[in-house]
Structure 1
Amino acid sequence: MSNLLATGSSALIAFQRALSTVSHNVANVATEGYSRQRVELAAREGSFRGYGSQGSGVQIVDIRRMADSLATARLLDSGGELSRLQQLSSLSNRVDSLFSEKATGISQSWSSFFDSVSALSSNAASAAERENVLAQGKALVTRFNQMNGQMDRLNDEVNTGLVASVDEVNRLAREIAQLNGRIGSNVTHASGDLLDRRDQLISQLVGHTGGSTASQGGGHINVFTAGGQPLVVGASASTLVTTADPYRPERLQIALETNGQRITLGGNGFGGRIGGLMEFRNTVLDPAMAELGRIAVSLAQTFNEGHAAGMDLYGQMGGDFFSLPQPRVNAHAGNNGDATLQAVLGDLSKLNGQNVLLRFDGSNWSATHPDTGAAITVTGSGVVGDPLVVNGIELVIGSGTPDTNDRFLLQPTAGAAGGISLAITDPGRLAAARPVKASADVGNLGSGKLSDLKVVNPGHANLLDPVEIAFIDATQYTVGGAGPFPYTPGQAIAHNGWSVRLDGAPAAGDTFDIARTAAGSSDNGNATVLANLDDARALNNGTLTLNGAISGLTTLVGSAARQAEYSADAQQIIHDQAQLARDSVAGVNLDEEAADLMRLQQAYQAAAQIISTADNMFQSLLSAVRR
């Protein structure tokens, strides 16, 4: 009877605890990261009774955590990559909206400005048209300023996101290290819930940093960044900190503090949300700001040159229409020398807007791409008369002396869109007229007519001097008394910074006069030129127009946003598949748990019946003895 009672008691206890485990599974069906648990039962060792071995019941040998390490590792990896791509996609789409929406993009203001200049070319004397050009010009530079400001705020958001992620990573790493310590001190009996908690924290950590894990003896799990730097090793956690960029203090970098050392980690050192933030800043935000700045610089430079070739209502040569800041050059915070570099725009056609890292080796300068390290061609020595020339920018040492290994970051166009402004406010200062006019003598006998008069050198000292073109015969002419020069029909006649062509055939004795345009002229020659500058092939060595640059920028940003979105969507599918693979092993299935619950309940009731039977037998024995 004692045997029967012991066997029944062991079954009762085993099934009770198995029911508790099933109940625990059901209770955590919605708990993120929970791995279902299963009671492992085994028969107790029997006792030899002379006629054979007789069993003595059941015992619990383990409460097994149903987890697949490969499925967990796959889910961890896909989760970090998904976090990176979602972060990249979200921010890239915001930049795309900024450039593509009519209300926030540059295209509408750009078109309105050049439309106003075109309208001025049709009525150069109109005060209303002149006021409209200034108003549309103001609207255009305001839009440039606003777009640059929006991207500056996105950069601030990246900084804020990095600070928040670093704080969260440090918290998670400390807690994981503490759990490693608790699990390692009792590895053979570690709670499945404790292991789940650690896995969940690791998943959250990798969601911020990307990376991988590695098991260590004693039940510890070490966590590394995507670049292989240790975040958690055993029961010790490293610390991430944010530091100022040595060239641009307004933007933050991330460094790892471990074993008393601080290691600055680049964008390639992270995946997850931090990697997405850094990748967005480096591959989408910075190029967009630089290209927007290049467009602003190109507009200002091209329009100013065209405006300088005209004459305003006061009879003066046109000055700058737009004002623009000079390219930025920032010294590295660790430079030993005290040199400063001053940069100006040289050849616009070679300007590409990419940042350049300049390094002084003690005697010569070199230039590389700051992200890839690829060499960039640089010429000159950096002194007045022999400036450094790189990507269309000219630089001279403004003050001080560079020391060996001093470094400087050249940002040719970053921030230019935020600094562009109008240089004039008086509509009378609009140089709509050509500074010189051409006329034919009324007594000319030939059929020659002046055409295509234009200024080719507005800075020529004698540009406005009156000049007579006199034809000796149909094949020779003098200009300003100089000559004779051979003449071929249709050729350009150039002098004092202007050029002109003749249609038809001049006759001997024919004369043509080039003279200064009077103040208050309604001439529209220069306005006509200005109205078509948006189609001037000023960029990429004369192969790209300003309009083409705007379209290219919009396409570039849109393509980056679409690519990030498609990649995030694809990664979501991969992550969902990894989640299903993990859940197929570790997830709680309510149907299965309900079946186990019924089976164990019946087993528990049967075990209780065994005990009841043993009790009845014992009571029968007692009754027999009492007789």
Structure 2
Amino acid sequence: MSNLLATGSSALLAFQRALSTVSHNVANINTPGYSRQRAEFEARAGTYTGYGHQGNGVQIVDIRRMADSLATSRLLDAGGELSRLQQLSVLSSRVDTLFSEAATGISAPWSGFFDSVSALSSNAASSAERENLLAQAKALVTRFNQIDKHLDGLNDEVNKGLIAGVDEVNRLANEIAQLNGKIGSNANTASGDLLDRRDQLISQLVSYTGGTAVTQDGGQINVFTAGGQPLVVGTAASKLVTTSDPYRPERLQVALETNGQRTTLGQNGLGGQMGGLLEFRTTVLDPAVAELGRIAVSLAETFNAGHAGGMDLYGQLGGDFFSIPSPKVSAHSGNSGDAVLQPALGDLSALNGQNVLLRFDGSNWLATHPDTGAAIPLSGSGTAADPLVVNGVELVLASGTPATNDRFLLQPTAGAAGAIGVAITDPSRIAAATPVKAAADLANIGSGKLSGLKVTDAGHADLLTPVAIEFIDANQYTIDGAGPFAYSAGQTISHNGWSLVLDGAPAAGDSFNVSANGTNSSDNGNANLLANLDDARVLNGGTTTLNGAVSGLTTSVGSAARQADYSAEAQLVIYNQAQAARDSISGVNLDEEAADLMRLQQAYQAAAQIISTADNIFQSLLSAVRR
């Protein structure tokens, strides 16, 4: 009878605990990272009665946490990569929107500016057209400045994201290390809820840094960044800090601080959200800033050169239409020398906008790509007579002396779009006219007609000096009596910084005069040239037009945003599959839990009936004894 009571009691206790486990599962169905738990039953050791072993009921030997390390690891990897790609996609899409929308992009004011130049070429003397040209130029410059400011704002957001990420990573790493200590050297005896909490924290940590989690013997987990740097080892947590870029203090980097030493973690050393921030800054933001600056500088340089070849309403040669900032050179904070490099724009067709790392090896200057370390062609010695020339930029050692291994970062066009401006305010200073004019003598008897008069060297000292061209015969001519010079039909005649072409055939005695245009000229020759500069092939070795560069920038930014979006969508599918695989093992299923509740409830009632039966037997025995 006592055995019957003990058996029933053990069943009641076991089923009660199993029911508690099922209710715990149901209660945590919406708890992130919760792993379903299951009560493991085992028969209690039987008692030998002489004729055999008699059972003594049941007991709970374990509350098993339903988890699979492989499924958890897959979900961890997929989650870190998804965080990286989503961060990259969101920020890249914002840059794409900035360039592609008519209200914020460069295309609309760009077209408006060149349309106004074209309108001026149709009516060069009109004050209204001149005012409109200046207004459109200011609108274009303002748009360049605004876009550059927005891009600077994105860089600030990256900095803030890194600061917030570092704080959160340090908090998570410390808590994981503490949980490692609580779990101790045997994870098999640890609370399933404690293990779930640790896994959830590791998942959050990896979503910031990417990387992996490695389980030690005994159950403690070590966490490493995507680049293999340790964040948590046993009960010790490393610390991340933000540091200033040695060339650009306004830009933050992430470093791992260990024993007083700091190891900088670049985009290859970090994944997750922080890796996405660094990757966005390196692969999308920086190239966009540099290319926007290259376009702004190229437009200004090309237009200034064309404008210098014209004459304004005051009869003066055109000066700079746009103000152009110089390239940036930043010394490394650790330089021991006092050298100062002065940069200036050189060959526009060689300007590519890419940053260049300059290093002095003790006797020579070397140029490399700051991210890859690839060598970049560099010529010159750095003197005023022989400047350093790299990627269309000329640099002169303005003062000081470089020490061995001193380094400088050259940014040819970064930030240039934010500093470009309109250099003139007086509409009459717009040089729409060709500085010189040509006329045929009224007594000419040949069929030669003037065409194609243009300025080839606006800086020539004798550009505005009157010149007479006289033909000795159809094949020879003189210039102010000098010569004779051979002539063939259609030949270009050049002198004093100008050139012209004659259509037809001049006859002996024919003469043509070239002289300065003068004040208040309605000539539109230079305006016609300026109106077509957007199609001038001045970039990439003379293969790309300014219009092509604007379209290329919009396309490249859009392509990067779409690629990031596609990658994020694909990774989301992989993540959902990993989540489903994990949930199939660890997730709580209400139908399954309901079935377990009913089954265990029935078992509990049956166990209670056993105890009731034992009680009835005992009462019957007592009644028999009383008689």
Give the alignment's TM-score, normalised by structure 1: 1.00
| 1:160-199 equivalences in 2 (<5 Å) | 160-184=160-184, 187-199=187-199
* Separation (CA, whole Å) in 2 of partners of 1:559 and 1:187: 48
Paired residues for 1:586-605 under 5 Å: 586-605=586-605
SS in structure 1 opposite 2:396? strand
Partner residue, 1:407? 407
Task: Please name the residue that 1:78 is paired with.
Answer: 78
- Give yes or no for the alignment of 1:110 onto 2:113: no
SS at match of 1:593: helix
- Mapped to 2, the partners of 1:388 and 1:191 lie a distance apart of 67
Q: What residue in structure 2 maps to residue 566 of structure 1?
A: 566
The answer on whether the counterparts of 2:360 and 2:405 sit within 8 Å (CA) in structure 1 is yes
Deviation at 1:260, TM superposition (A): 2.7
- Answer yes or no: is 1:213 the counterpart of 2:213: yes
Which residue matches 1:422? 422
Task: State the distance in 2 between where 1:187 and 1:32 align.
Answer: 21
1:249-398 alignment, distance < 5 Å: 249-398=249-398
- Following superposition, the deviation at residue 186 of structure 1 comes to 5.7
Give the distance between the partners of 1:572 and 1:188, measured in 2 at CA: 33
Match of 1:10 in 2: 10
Report Cα offsets for 1:219-269 as digits up to 9, x if no partner. 210000000000000000000000000000111000001233211111110
Secondary structure of the 1:268 match is: coil
The aligned residue for residue 612 of structure 2 is 612
Moved more, 209-218 or 446-455: 209-218
- Residue 512 of structure 1 corresponds to 512
Q: Give the match's secondary structure for 2:401.
A: coil
Using the alignment, how far apart are the partners of 2:20 and 2:542 within structure 1? 79
Q: Tell me the secondary structure at the aligned position of residue 539 of structure 2.
A: coil
The 3-state SS of whatever aligns with 1:213 is strand
Q: Deviations over 1:160-203 (max 9, x none)?
A: 00000000000000000000000015634200000000000000
Q: Does 1:522 align with 2:522?
A: yes
Secondary structure class of the residue paired with 2:184: helix
Render the CA deviation track for 1:64-90: whole Å, top value 9, x for unaligned. Answer: 000010000000000000000000000
1:79-109 Cα shifts (integer Å, max 9, x gaps): 0000000000000000000000000000000
1:478 maps to which residue? 478
Deviation digits for residues 525-566 of structure 1 (CA, Å, limit 9, x no counterpart): 000000000000000000000000000000000000000000
Unmatched segments (≥5 aa) in structure 2: none
Runs of 4+ in 1 over 4 A off after TM superposition: none
Distance in 2 (CA, whole Å) between partners of 1:481 and 1:463 is: 18
User: Which residue of 2 is the match for residue 129 of structure 1?
Assistant: 129
Structure 2 Cα separation of the partners of residues 13 and 488 of structure 1: 117
Instruction: State the match for 1:233 in structure 2.
Output: 233
Give SS of 1:538's match. Answer: strand
Q: Secondary structure at the match of 1:149?
A: helix
Deviation at 1:481, TM superposition (A): 2.0
Q: Give the whole-Å Cα distance in 2 for the aligned partners of 1:343 and 1:254.
A: 30
- Give the aligned residue type for 1:287: P
Secondary structure, in 3 states, of the residue corresponding to 2:357?
strand
Distance 1:105 1:22 in 2: 59
Tell me which residue corresponds to 1:68: 68
Amino acid at match of 2:406: D
Q: SS of the residue aligned with 2:538?
A: coil
Cα drift, residue 340 of structure 1: 1.0
Give me the whole-angstrom Cα distance separating, in 2, the residues matched to 1:471 and 1:258.
86
Return the alpha-carbon distance in structure 1 between the equivalents of residues 481 and 300 of structure 2.
39
Q: Give ranges in structure 1 of 5+ residues lacking alignment.
A: none
Q: Secondary structure of 1:378's match?
A: coil
Letter in 2 for 1:57: G
The DSSP-based 3-state class of the residue aligned with 2:202 is helix
1:549 alignment counterpart: 549
Query: Do the aligned partners of 2:106 and 2:140 also contact (CA within 8 Å) in 1?
Result: yes
Given that 2:185 and 2:220 are in contact with CA atoms closer than 8 Å, whether structure 1 keeps it comes out as no
Name the SS for the 2:70 alignment partner: helix
The alignment yields a C-alpha RMSD, in angstroms, of 0.6
TM-score (norm 2): 1.00
The whole-number CA distance in structure 1 between the counterparts of 2:13 and 2:186 is 25
Amino acid of the residue matched to residue 432 of structure 1?
A
For the residue of structure 2 that corresponds to 1:478, the secondary structure is: strand
Report the count of equivalent residues. 627
Residues 493-548 of structure 1 deviation map (CA, whole Å, 9 limit, x = unaligned): 00000000000000000000000011110000000000000000000000000000
User: 2-side partners of 1:261 and 1:19: how far apart?
Assistant: 53
The yes-or-no answer on 1:532 pairing with 2:532 is yes
The Cα offsets for residues 554-599 of structure 1, whole Å up to 9 and x where unpaired, read as: 0000000000000000000000000000000000000000000000
Q: CA–CA distance in 1 between the matches of 2:183 and 2:281?
A: 40
SS of equivalent residue, structure 1 residue 200:
helix
Distance 1:233 1:381 in 2: 51
Question: Once structures 1 and 2 are overlaid, which stretch shifts more, 475-484 or 171-180?
Answer: 475-484
Residue aligning to 1:496: 496
Q: Which amino acid aligns with 1:489?
A: A
Partner of 1:431: 431
